[in-house]
Each structure stands twice: as C-alpha cells, then as structure tokens.
Structure 1
Amino acid sequence: MSEIGSGQRTSIDAMRSGELTSGELPVSGGSLVGRQEIVSQIVEQLDPGRVVTLTGMGGVGKTSVSIEVARAIVNDPDRFSDGCWFVEMAAVADEASIPVAITDAIGMFQNDDATPYESVVTGLRGLRGLLVIDNCEQIAGAMTGLLHRLLSDCTDLAVLATSREPLRMEAERVIAIETLNAGTGAYELFARRAVEADGSFDPLAHASAISTICNALDGLPLALELAAARLGTMTAEDIASRLDERFRMLRDPSVSGRNNSLYATVSWSYELLQPVERRLFDRLSVFQGGFDEQAAMAMLDPRDRGVDVRVVLGALVDKSMVNVVSAVARACSDEGSSAGASRGDTAPNNAPEAAGRRYDLLETLRHFGDRQLARRNERAAVRNQHLDHMIEVVAAANAFALSNDWAEGARRFRQDWANIRAAVNWAIDTTRVDDVDRLLRDVHFYCRWSLEAEAAIWAKRAISRGTTIGAVPGTPAHLHVGFQLFLAGDHEAALEELQRGLAARGTPSDRGWCRHYAAVELLYLGRAAEAADQAAVDFSDKSPRSVEAVIRSSSITAFQMYARQVHHDEAAARFAKYAQIAEKSGNSVAQGDVHFNSALCAYGRGDVDTYLAKMGDALEVARRDDIPNLTGYILTAQVHAPGWSGLRGALDALEYWNASRNIGNEFVVLEAVGINLAEMRRLEPAAVILGNLRNDRRKMTSSMSRRQACIGEIALHRSGEAWMEAGAAMSRTELLAYTKRATIEALESL
C-alpha cells in the first residue's frame, strides 16, 4: 500500500561505470568502409563542453559514422568514463519534445515537479559522457538553444550531433561527411556488399562496371548499397547500364546535385520492387523504432492479405530496402512454460518465439515511403491502421504484465515504446478519444511499476486538446496525471486530479485505481480514516483480473490498519491469504507488493524479525524481475524506521536514488535521515540536511510531526540556524555526499 514514488534510469549501472556496451547502440547495418580516418578524427575532436556536428546530405552515412564513434568511446572508458547515450531525433518535430526524447533515451525518470529540461540536467550533471544526437536538422534552431544551456549546466558532457546543416553554435566544431572516393572507398563498399549479396561474385571480373556504378552514384554509400543489393537478380553490367538509363528519367528537377543521385537511386530501387513489395514498403514507413513480422502483417494492404509476409520482408531485406536490426528474443523454456501452466493467471498464448526478428527502415528510406503514401492520399488510412495494430500490441503487453510474466510484458512495452508514442499522438490529433482511453488504460500498470513517466505527458496533452475541442478523454488520462503529481509530492493537486478522474467516464478498473490513488493521497495528507473509507468502495467495484484485485485488497487492508479499523492480527491473517493468491497468480508485482504490506503489518505488531524477512522477500522479487518502483519504495520505506534501522536502510536507498537521479525520492530519504539523526541527538548533521530541505515544497505528512519536533530541537541550539544555513548553501550533490558520510559515522558510533 505505501506508495513511495520512485524512478530508475535504465542501464544506469553500466552508464555510470563506463560499461555501456555496443549492443545498446543502434545497429549500423554492416561494417563501415572508408571511414576509419574520419572516425579517428572525430574521436579526437570530442571534448567536454563542446559540440561536434557531422554534416552532409541524406544517405552519406552520418548516422553510421556517429555510431562507430560512439562505439569507440564506449570501448575507451578513459576518455568518457560515464559512457555514451544515443538519442534518435528523426521523429521529433517540435521544441518541447526535444528534452523529452533525451530523457527517454538516457532512461531518466521524468518527475512532474521538474520540467523535461530540468530532468535532462538532473540525469547528466556531473557525468563525463558523450551524448550522440542523430538527425536533428528539422529542429536545428531549437537544438542550438537547448545544447547551449545543457553544456553550461553539464560541463563534463560532450555532444556529437548529426545534421544536414551546422547548428551554428559558438562551441561547435563542424565536420563534413563527404561521399566516398569513387576509386577507393566507394569501390570497396560496393564490392563488399556485392559479395554479401552474391557469394560467387568476383569484383575483379567486373571492375569496369563497378567503377561506372561508383561514378554514376557519386560515391553515396546508401545509393551504392541499394545498387549492390540488386546483384541477386542482375549483373553488375546490367546495373551500370540501367542506372544511366533510369537516372535520366528519375532525376527530380526540384532536387539538385548528389541529393538527386540519391533520390534517383532510391526511386530506381523502388520501381524494381514487385507491386506487393512496394505496397508493404510504403506502409512500413509508419513505424518508429522498428517492427516485427506480426506488425508487418498487420500493415499489409487489404489486397495483399493472403501473401506470405515473411517472403515479402525477406525480399525487401535482400534488396536493402529494409534492415534487420535484431534477431534475438527471449526464449520460453519448456520448464518455464510448464510452470506457468499451473498458475491462475498465465501468460497469453502468443508468447514470444524462441527466436524472432525485428526490422527497421533507414530514415532516408522511411521518408521516401511516407512520400509515396502522401502522393496517393493513403497516409491517414495507414496511420489509422498502425494505431489499430498498436492498440492490440499494447493490450497484449499489458496482459503479460498482469499475468505470470511481468518481465515479458515490460520487454514488449520497452521494445515498442516509440510506436506506442506515435499511436497515442495520432489518436489525440485525430480525436479518437476512445482509443486514447484504451491505450492510456493499458499502459497504466506498466508505467506505475516501471515509472515510465511519458504517458503522463500524453495524458496532459489529451486533456488539454480535448478540453479545447470538446473531446475530453476519460478516467485513464486523469489517473496518469494524478499519479505523476503524487510522485512530485503535490498531494492536494493529485487528489483533485483523481477526483476529476472519478467523475469522468471509465471502466470499473479505471475507477478502482482512481479510488486507490485518491486514498493514498488522503493518507499522505494525514486523513487515514477517509483514506480507508475511500479505498473500501473498491470492494463493490473491482476488476475481474485477480492480480489487480489482490493488489487492491492488500492495499485496502493496509489503509484500514493505518486507520486502526483493523487489528494487526486480523491484517496479518488477510495478508497471508493474499500472499497465497499472489503466489498462485505467478505475478511478481503482486507477490512483491503483498510481501511489502505484510512487512508493514509485522512492523506495526513489533515483530521485527518478520518485518525484515518480508521486506527481504519483497526486495528479492523486485530486483529479480526488474520492477523499479517496487524496488524503490521498499528501499525508501525502511528509512522511516527510527534510529539505526532507518539509517541502515537509508544507505541503500540513497545509493539507489542517486543512481536513478530522482530528486523527488532523494528528498524522502534525506528527510528521514535528518529526522533520525536529530532524534539520536546528532544535531549538526541533522540541521545541515533539514536546512537544505527547508524551502522544498514537498511534504511528507506521515513524518511532519517528527520533522517539526526535530527542527524545534535544532532551533534551541545556539548554532542551529548557522548549521541550517550551511545546509541550504549546499548543492544536491554535495548534500548527498555529506548525508552519506554522516549516516556512516552515526552507524559506526552505535
């Protein structure tokens, strides 16, 4: 029940230790040819506080070069010890979305008490790392302003950007990525790709044709790869001859220079596709962040419903129009399958295959496909089709998360998050309000436990737009906004938002969760009896899903226990029953949550041994299955215990929140440490900590009386105010280090 907000930056341990692996970088699509010298030059130019911008036309290889630079940085942690982050900006079209994209890429928790830009600074300040920002030409002006501020606030950060034009910053070094030399780099690239397309191909036997092709294509890497992919069905001499012929017809008078060569090459490759291949290629351009075979099948043109999508995709891959970006999926072992079959809430039948592929389009090709849809006035219809498919994807991921396989559900959400974002925004823009509700409802459980905060941004946008045009979303949008206000510590505003959600249209499950979080807010506001009464309404309006039901039932008992409506012995008996239900469900979130509430009950009874054992069980589940919010509030809950017990728990919690860069929950832990130190008569460090927090607008109602009593004791000391002023002057980084030292010293003195 005790909803302590938390957040986690993904892969944070690897990032902070410089162990980010190249596997976490985008796939560049084959070995890089003819770029070794420029990669070394770029690496040498990268310095903290500087921006290096790679410029060049579409298809010249800016992204591939930037990925190779990032890989070099990752493999040389002495240069940038805290790692590298890759941010794809191709789908970002407005200034407000830039920091959101960065926070998403670096895995930074977006707390509602800070702007997205402040979240970026919180996540990157003090880290010596490289931020790679790809495809930012459409937002160049806004990006310039943001990077100027970011490098001022994060002085140890270096930035590598790719753009078709310079960002025109004072701290910018511009490096132009040129086309490959026709006689050397271009020749080698074509020859390599030709051999990959046809193992029997002999470059020496076709040297003249290769030279003709390389010159005709102006050494453009993407154009060369598209041409080489044709060697499965054409000879090099045929390609050389037909390129010259087709270019005369396909050159676009509105496009000049080498960009025209690229346009003509893509057009030529596109027109050589079979009709079904062209139709699918165009429709695949709607995806953001990749897709799998099932997604491709869902996007087939109605006239192509009977075709084998694997065959068509294979043909597009062979012709370099589509890339394979992943061929690894989590395997379902026989043992795991049989274990799940015995549980009440098993994973859906469409469990992941032992091995599966994900695909993507290069950005240049994506734009080309989208252009074809627009020319035929099919763009809106295809985006609606994509939205319909993503509704099914989100529902399936949610079914996993609510079943015996939270980890698989979370993996599916993470894998398709960019597509979910595109679908939600399209639904909001086209006023498909019921679909907005459905998507926000089905991402709620994942967002609540993983603390993926972006859904709250979508919800705010849906509410704002809906209010303006008279198409107001239902309860799920208010639920997301209310939960984010809770995480920010603004409990009054959160309660108001949740009350608006209860008045909106929604399912029984929607209303149940709204009541649940409204009860949480009432508890934080010190209104325990009202909280218990509010939550108890849930008994007459609960979801049929057993995982949700057991989590809510466990929470209701905890509310009633805090309100002294249920004796601890009765609560313990209920929690034992809930634990059996959670175990039968196989859902790790339910198991961990019930263990946690059982621990709180044991603590209330004075049974410290059971308290520690249950907390240990909850933490084991949370860490085993990577449930960030469960991990966070277990660690945080322990800091409220008085004396040495709370201080001991604070060390783990401080480390967790410092790594996660979550200021909101750092506040909770810091406050608890300050209170415990004051109650142990260690007034100076307590005053320093509480002095730093004095002007913070967050308030923990449950600890307010203890905090006020401690501040009163500090005020009686002649140096009390000076200590508090010293704390107020500290930065958060300084305060965290100070608090850790003070905690260790206090524990060592006991």
Structure 2
Amino acid sequence: MGRPQRPIDEGGGPVAEFASSLRRLRERTGGRSYRELSKLANCAPSTLSDATAGRRLPSWPVVAGFLRACEVSDEGPWRERWQAAADGTRPPTRAGHVPDDPATFVGRGADLDVVLKRLDRSRLVTITGPGGAGKTRLAQRAAHAAALDHADGARWVELSDVTDASLIPRAILSTLDIPPEPARPPREQLMDALAKRYLLIILDNCEHLAVECAKLVRDILTSTTTVSILATSRRALALPEEHLCPIGPLPMSQAVALLIERARAVLPGFSPTEADLEIAELLCHRLDGLPLAIEFAARRLRTFTLAQLCEFLDAPSSLLRDDSGVRHRRQASVRATLEWSHDLCSPEAQRLWRDLSVYLGGAPLAAVQSTAGPEALGAVSELVDQSVLVSAGRRLRMLESVREYGLWRLSSSGKLRCARDRHLGWCLDYAENADAAWYGPGQLEVLNRIREEMPNLRAAMDHGLSSGGDAAVRGLRIAVSLWWYWLASGLIDEGRDWLERSLKVCGDAPESVDALWACGYVSVLLGEIGRTRELCDEAAASGAPKALAWSALIRGLTELVSGTLEQAVELTADALSRFRALGDAQGVQHALSQLGITRAMGGDQAAAVSSVEEGRRIAAAHGERWHRAYLLWTQGWLRVMGDDPRTALPLLRESLRIQEDFADRRAIAANLEALGWVAAAVGDDHRAAILLGRAHWHWSDVEARLFGFAVLTAHAERHDAALRERMPAGEFEEAYRRGSMLSTVDTWAVVDGF
C-alpha cells in the first residue's frame, strides 16, 4: 500500500470530503498502491496521490481515471459530487438530503474514523451520548463521507419533529420522494421501496421513539441486504446487530480548540495568551468538554472575559440548579449552560425562547412575528447571537436540547396551553392562506411550504382535536384546508385519518360540512366506495352550494371507478354546472378533467377532447400547473389511441416536466407509460421497452398501474404483449431492465431522443 498519507484537514469543506471519499474507495477496493492504480488510470502515481490529499480538487479526467482503476461502473454520483466541490458547495439540500453544517468541524476526527469503519463492517451503527455531545454534527460528517459508498446515496430523517411512532415509516418514505400508497400500510410500502435500493439512512434523534425505531430498523435489516442505518440517540436501540459508537466529552485539547475557534467567530482577531489558554482549559473542564455547552459559552465572550465566565460557573447560584430531575453530571452541564444563557437574555428574548419551543421543525419568521408581535426582530437577533436560534434559510430552528429546555420553562410557567393555542391559531391562518393560494401560479412554492410546515400542522391539529370546543373546530378547519395537499402529496390515508377524527370530535359544528366532502374525496381514492357515498350524501343534505357541487363530483368519481359510466357522466356534468354557477374555476377544472376521462372510457372521444381542452385553457388562464399536468396526460393518451401519436409527444413531455417538479410519481409513471406507447407506435420498440421498464419501476412504489382505470390497463397489457412478441428473444428483457435502472437525467435523454 505504500507509506501512509497525511491526514486530511477536517475543516477543508467539500474538496476535503471528496478527497476522503476517494481514499475510502481505494481502501474498499483492495488498497492497491498508487503505482498499480496509475497503470489502469493512465495517470502518474503522484497525480493520483495528489487527488486524495484534499488540498485542491483534481480535474474530472483524473477522477474518472481513478474510478476506472477502482472498477466503479456508475460515475454519475461521483460526477455530481465533483461538480459540487468545484462550485465550492455541496449539492442543493432538499428533503431527505444530508444537511450541511455551516460551522467548521473541530475535534471528533477519531470518532469520525470509528463511525466510518463501523459503517464499513456493520449495517447498523448508533452514535450515543448525552444531549449536547455533538451526535448530530458527527452523523452529518459521517453521512457526507459515506454517501458515495452507497449507489443511492444517503437520506437524512429528522425524528425530533416526529411525535407519533406510526409516522416514522412515512417520514422515511418522504425522504425517498415516494408518496404513500393509498390503502397500503406505509411500513409495508417502505420495505418494498428499500428492497431495490443500496442506501444509507440516517435516523437522527431516536431517543423519544427508541422502542418503535428499533422495531422498524430490525424489519429493514431483515427484509433488505443493501440498506444500512446510522442512528443518533441518547440511548442504544438494543438490537443484536447494533454497533455502538458512544461519544462523550471532547478531549481537552480539542475542547479548547473548539472554544478558541468559536470565540474567533464572535471576536475576529482573537489571539489568546498563555494565561487565556489556561483559563480556557479550566472553563472547558467546568463545561465537561461538551460541544454544545462550549459553543454557548463562546458566544458570551462578546460580553464577558474568559475569567468572568469561569467565575459565573463557579458561583453557587441558580445557574447551576437542575430542577428538571436530570442527574447525569454531563447533562447537568448542558442544562446549566442553557440556564445561564436564558438568564442573560432580555425578558422579551426569554419569552420568545419559551413560546417558540412549541414549534416542531422550526418556524418561519412570519410565525415568530405572529407569536411575539412586530417587536420580535430584536429578540430574534438576540437569540441568534446567543445560538439559541439557528437561521436555516428562511426558517429559524432550535437544537433539540435547546427546544426541550424552552418547553420545560414554558411548562413550569403554567403557560404551555396558551402557547399551544397561539400556535394552533398561527397554523390555522397558515393552512387557510395556503388553501387560498394553491389554485394559482405559485403552486409548487405553496406545496413545498406546506410540506415543510407539516410537523407544526400535525401538532396543531392534534392539540386542537384533543382540547375540544373551539380549538377542536380550528383543528378541523386545518384538516379541511389541506384537502388539496392530501391529494397532491400522496398522503391520502393520513388525510382521511385527520378528517375522520375531526368529524368524530366536532361533527355537529357547521364547519364540518366541508370536512364531509373532503373526507369523501380522499376516501374514494382509497377505494372506500361505500363510506364515500355516505359522506357525500351527508354533505349534500346540508344544502350548501359548495358541498352540493363537490359531493356530485366525488359521487361521479365513485361511479367512474365502479364502471357505471352513464351515472358517472350524469353526476360529473351536474357538478360542472354547479361549479360554473359558483364561479369556482378550480372546481370547473376538476370536473372537466373527470368528465373528459369518463367520456373517453365510454368511447366518446370527441366530447372527451373538448372537455380536456377547455380544462387546459382554464388552467392556463389561472397559472395552475399540478392538475393541468393530468389534463395534458389525458390529452396525450387520447391522441395515441386516436392514431395521432406524434402530436402526443409535446403534451406528454410537458406533463412529465411539470410532475417532475412536483415529484408526483403516479403522474410520472403514467406519462412514461404513454410515452412508451408513442415510441412503439412510431416503430421504436427498443425505446418503448426502456420507457416501460422505467414506468413500472415507479408504479411498483405507488399503486395500481394507471390508477386502475380498466380501459387504460387493458390497452397497456395489449401493448406489452405486442412489444414482447415483436422484439427478439432477450432484447425486451434487457431494455426493460435498463429502463428500471435509469437516473432522472438518463430518463430525459430517452424521452427527448425521438
């Protein structure tokens, strides 16, 4: 293997992380010398060695040669990471992607090596330690380093926002961009989805759900062979397969280095003397070497000297009291530091800290202003300066230990119920404003903002429905305002559960009328035809014009699904008339889409095309995109079946691009199916088989092929059989297999290639 290389600078950012990944790749593939690798890479040994030094980024040809020498077949993920390092940033963060830590990584280098080595040998590694020890930050570093060891990368699942154990499988599914499949347990769907992935899943903050997490992790490990788990928790999951990586205080030299590094962030040019270093070591000893406590202390150096900080910690004052019942000395150090930080805050900042602790997953600035009034900005700045609040894009978050302390303070003050009521009020306004904004040009932004806020919205609905009275009605109104979200996100079964619970708690309230038809909408998509009819009949009995229109539309959908097309046309046409009378453009668009599909199923192609085209015009006039993509898809397959396949291409491509933005896998699969029909119709059977393989890869993660529409599934089965018959033996299977493995970029190359 040659002589050992120098360690890579831990704080070197993406370039250093990329170099570390190359080193690990070399070790995993036999640890051959750079001289041996150079013969296969067509590069000088020194060039390959420099590529893994972490001082500068190697050129892509050098990286490609390195990968070739290490027999890496799929360069795509490496190219993406290399490009991100070249840009000076990691790939953009979105749901499920490992978050970046803007702070430099000080200490824990040996712990990081241990975690990575155990991940190489074991499929379950748990980082344990007290609150404030730095488990999350260590897991982030490990995940970034180990992501390229897994073909499908790493997915980050934040569990501190999850309060209901039954939502853990759904939380993991959401990081995979897979919508829950209606009428199927999320746990079962998750196992199927993971079976075909080579993936690292990070479960952060498991302690409050440790038993449930352990059961799910055991299921994942036994039902898959290529999925690994990295967990962080204050206690072990207690599974036989688990490899523990306990962390505690930083070694004193690293603790002092962290204190000095963070001090320089608030005091640029800070240059400690020998005496300062001695006091810094004493201070770190008082803080038990815990990173969170040290970072909070460093923030105080803007106001106090190192010696003064030590005096505060030595004082027999309330700063060191631990009224919470936490007896562990290290945990008491964190609690004491938080108490100290709280006492140094202004009364306004203290109040804001307590009030914001009821928010899960952070809060946007608008929520902060709603909670504390227009004067909140000063308190926000104060809490950010003290590291109580962390600015994360357009949101403000608290570390879980910090939030727990604020919640304890709030509960001790007797004002927890009032804070939760204010939180409920803000969430109701947020949900109703999103409902009003959904049908328009900003749909994707509205969807993403609601998706981001779901931990808060769930907590608010639960609080309201558990409290009864007016609070329960407000919880119901949130569930109703999210009717479109339950459809667009695929969380149909969760929506049904919230709406049914709302009706059970406050079914006599006037506001429950909209909950009836909304619950009917999600119920029919779950195949609960009888329950849907009951709900729609009850909603229609209210006589409310809006309820009459939506109930007729949903009843029409039940008849369409049941195959009674004449009744489906009659009911949907009635709904269309009612929506027109109300001036409800969204309802008109939904009714025209459903009417078009129903008429097409009945063989009236001309009327179907007319309905769909009118629906498209209305969508375009309002800037609506999500439902418009379904209209484009419908118009596309109508043209394929009408022997005009070439003109279907631009329609289906546009629909696919829209639904890629919305991550609607049902619509993506349906579009790929129809594009495969176009390819076959123009004589490109090989491309048709590739597209079919990709479509089926998506369908297997969601639900019945082509939504279970009998006419479409019959057409698809005839298409599949004819394609197999025309193609030479083995060629169909190979093209189908290739399609099932395509990346999104490669899928678009196939879609745009004809």
For the criterion TM > 0.5, the same-fold answer is: yes
Segment of structure 1 superposing worse, 422-431 or 650-659:
650-659
Deviation at 1:479, TM superposition (A): 5.6
1:255 maps onto 2:326 in alignment: yes
Deviation at 1:594, TM superposition (A): 3.6
On the 8 A contact 1:246/1:268 being kept in 2, the answer is: no
1:380 maps onto 2:417 in alignment: yes
Per-residue CA deviations over 1:50-88 (Å, capped at 9, x if unaligned) read: 3111111111111111111111112xx1x2221111112
Segment of structure 1 superposing worse, 103-112 or 628-637:
628-637
On the 8 A contact 2:645/2:681 being kept in 1, the answer is: no
Structure 2 distance, partners of 1:484, 1:578, is 22
> Which residue number in structure 1 is paired with residue 352 of structure 2?
280
> Which residue number in structure 2 is paired with residue 155 of structure 1?
225
Distance 1:595 1:506, change over 3 A: farther
Structure 2 distance, partners of 1:544, 1:434, is 27
Match of 2:566 among 529, 536, 540: 529
Structure 2 distance, partners of 1:653, 1:71, is 34
Q: Amino acid of the residue matched to residue 255 of structure 1?
A: V
Aligned residues: 640
Distance 1:538 1:316, change over 3 A: same
Q: Give unmatched runs, 5+ long, in structure 2.
A: 1-74, 82-89, 742-754
> Which residue number in structure 2 is paired with residue 438 of structure 1?
477
Match of 1:81 among 151, 169, 175: 151
Per-residue CA deviations over 1:71-115 (Å, capped at 9, x if unaligned) read: 1112xx1x2221111112224344423323322333332112321
Match of 1:61 among 134, 141, 144: 134
Per-residue CA deviations over 1:679-709 (Å, capped at 9, x if unaligned) read: 67949999xx9xxxxxxxxxxxxxxxxxxxx
| Local SS of the residue matching 1:123 | helix
Distance 1:674 1:598, change over 3 A: closer
On the 8 A contact 1:401/1:408 being kept in 2, the answer is: no
Q: Give unmatched runs, 5+ long, in structure 1.
A: 1-12, 327-356, 690-732, 742-750
Match of 1:559 among 591, 595, 598: 598
Segment of structure 1 superposing worse, 111-120 or 632-641:
632-641
Q: Amino acid of the residue matched to residue 263 of structure 2?
A: A
1:652 maps onto 2:674 in alignment: no
Distance 1:414 1:179, change over 3 A: same
Distance 1:185 1:126, change over 3 A: same
Q: Amino acid of the residue matched to residue 314 of structure 1?
A: S
Structure 2 distance, partners of 1:181, 1:244, is 21
Distance 1:399 1:235, change over 3 A: same
Structure 2 distance, partners of 1:89, 1:497, is 37
Q: Amino acid of the residue matched to residue 312 of structure 1?
A: A
On the 8 A contact 1:227/1:239 being kept in 2, the answer is: yes
On the 8 A contact 1:482/1:494 being kept in 2, the answer is: yes
On the 8 A contact 1:456/1:477 being kept in 2, the answer is: no
| Local SS of the residue matching 1:541 | helix
Deviation at 1:226, TM superposition (A): 0.9
TM normalised by structure 1 equals 0.76
Structure 1 distance, partners of 2:205, 2:632, is 46
Structure 1 distance, partners of 2:145, 2:227, is 16
Distance 1:298 1:38, change over 3 A: same
On the 8 A contact 1:282/1:370 being kept in 2, the answer is: yes
Structure 2 distance, partners of 1:515, 1:49, is 56
On the 8 A contact 2:549/2:575 being kept in 1, the answer is: yes
Deviation at 1:30, TM superposition (A): 1.6
Structure 1 distance, partners of 2:571, 2:426, is 37
Structure 1 residues 465-476: aligned runs within 5 Å: 466-467=503-504, 474=512
1:319 maps onto 2:386 in alignment: yes
Q: Amino acid of the residue matched to residue 112 of structure 1?
A: P
RMSD: 3.8
Distance 1:274 1:539, change over 3 A: same
On the 8 A contact 1:17/1:81 being kept in 2, the answer is: no
On the 8 A contact 1:47/1:158 being kept in 2, the answer is: no
Structure 1 residues 234-383: aligned runs within 5 Å: 234-245=304-315, 250-252=320-322, 254-256=325-327, 257-300=329-372, 305-307=373-375, 309-326=376-393, 357-383=394-420
Deviation at 1:311, TM superposition (A): 2.1
On the 8 A contact 1:456/1:480 being kept in 2, the answer is: no
User: Percent sequence identity over matched residues?
Assistant: 24
> Which residue number in structure 1 is paired with residue 431 of structure 2?
394
> Which residue number in structure 2 is paired with residue 405 of structure 1?
442
On the 8 A contact 1:229/1:319 being kept in 2, the answer is: yes
On the 8 A contact 2:466/2:472 being kept in 1, the answer is: no
Distance 1:606 1:105, change over 3 A: closer
Match of 1:113 among 170, 183, 188: 183
| Local SS of the residue matching 2:232 | strand
1:70 maps onto 2:108 in alignment: no
Segment of structure 1 superposing worse, 581-590 or 147-156:
581-590
> Which residue number in structure 2 is paired with residue 103 of structure 1?
173
Distance 1:425 1:127, change over 3 A: same
On the 8 A contact 1:403/1:586 being kept in 2, the answer is: yes
Per-residue CA deviations over 1:391-445 (Å, capped at 9, x if unaligned) read: 2222333344311122221222232222222222223322444333432333222
Structure 1 residues 477-626: aligned runs within 5 Å: 490=527, 492=529, 495-496=532-533, 499=536, 502=539, 508-509=545-546, 512-542=549-579, 544-560=583-599, 562-563=601-602, 568-569=605-606, 572-573=609-610, 575-599=612-636, 601-602=638-639, 606-623=643-660
1:173 maps onto 2:243 in alignment: yes
Deviation at 1:366, TM superposition (A): 0.4
Deviation at 1:321, TM superposition (A): 0.9
On the 8 A contact 2:640/2:677 being kept in 1, the answer is: no
| Local SS of the residue matching 1:664 | coil
On the 8 A contact 2:319/2:340 being kept in 1, the answer is: no
| Local SS of the residue matching 1:203 | coil
On the 8 A contact 1:54/1:162 being kept in 2, the answer is: yes
Structure 2 distance, partners of 1:465, 1:163, is 34
Q: Amino acid of the residue matched to residue 252 of structure 1?
A: D
Match of 1:664 among 703, 707, 714: 703
| Local SS of the residue matching 2:162 | coil
Structure 2 distance, partners of 1:409, 1:293, is 16
| Local SS of the residue matching 1:46 | helix
> Which residue number in structure 2 is paired with residue 713 of structure 1?
none
Deviation at 1:385, TM superposition (A): 1.1
| Local SS of the residue matching 1:96 | helix
Deviation at 1:573, TM superposition (A): 4.7
On the 8 A contact 2:156/2:204 being kept in 1, the answer is: yes
Deviation at 1:649, TM superposition (A): 5.6
Segment of structure 1 superposing worse, 467-476 or 271-280:
467-476
Deviation at 1:214, TM superposition (A): 0.8
Structure 2 distance, partners of 1:438, 1:551, is 22
1:189 maps onto 2:258 in alignment: yes
Structure 2 distance, partners of 1:359, 1:271, is 21
Structure 2 distance, partners of 1:735, 1:148, is 35
TM normalised by structure 2 equals 0.76
Distance 1:298 1:604, change over 3 A: same
Distance 1:674 1:582, change over 3 A: closer
On the 8 A contact 1:108/1:660 being kept in 2, the answer is: no
| Local SS of the residue matching 2:480 | helix
Per-residue CA deviations over 1:289-342 (Å, capped at 9, x if unaligned) read: 222221110111xxxx351x222211111111111122xxxxxxxxxxxxxxxx
